[in-house]
Amino acid sequence: MFYKDLLLCPTPQPWLELVPSHLELLLVDHANCEKKAAGAALTLMYRYIDRPALMQQLSRLAREELRHFEQVLAIMGERGIDYVHVSPARYAATLRDTVRTFEPARLLDILLVSALVEARSCERFACLVDVLDPELAEFYTSLLKSEARHANVYLEMATDIGGDEMDDRLAHFCRVERELIETEDPDFRFHSGIPIAQGSER
């Protein structure tokens, strides 16, 4: 599945318009996203040791996410950008708020949320190419293929265990994801929604 097929809306133009004045914050939060994605894959590996095929897929995903983290960190270092603490976005936390707590429903929901997060990342990578300097545009273009594959891998893993409820749960999370992207967001982050008017921030 093409990553855009998972998403119900594009990135709003007001978010893109803030990117040039919030570039340092964008890179810091992107680094955080890659590190969290690696950590999430490792957590699933530890939790679901009875699923060897899933663990193998997650191991590869974790390695690739950590490599992306290293690449973002290197770009920040070249540009003199400190890796400082920034508060997490509402995006991933809100998506996970409706993840069910019993198995195997919990695993299905986590895999679907992960697929959506990866799909939105890809969509943003593609959008950023048009508003960033050539070096960063080339970098985000280079991430598209692997991150798109991550979205598909998570979706395939979900499909393997989803059964009859797969489509309903995916539709639910897609609606939540669209609302997060299309509504006002108090903080500018890599996955944030429509920004409330704010000044440039680090």
In a domain? residue 3: no
Residue 174: its pLDDT value, please?
A: 97
Q: What is the pLDDT of residues 52-93, one digit of tens each?
A: 999 999 999 999 999 999 999 999 999 999 999 999 889 999
Parallel, antiparallel, or unpaired for β 184-185 and 194-195? Answer: parallel
In a domain? residue 1: no
Q: Tokens 């708020």 map to which residue? A: 97
Instruction: Provide the CATH number for the domain around residue 89.
Output: 1.20.1260.10
Which portions of the chain are predicted below pLDDT 50?
A: 198-202
Q: For residue 104, is the peptide bond before it cis, meaning its omega torsion is within 30 degrees of 0?
A: yes
In a domain? residue 4: no
Residue 88: its pLDDT value, please?
A: 87
How much is the pTM? 0.94
Q: Which amino acid is at 38?
A: A
| 195 beta partners | 185
Q: Which helix (H) or strand (E) holds 68?
A: helix 52-78
Residue 3: its pLDDT value, please?
A: 74
Per the structure, the count of domains in the chain is 1
Quote the Cα angle for 54-89-111, to 5°: 15
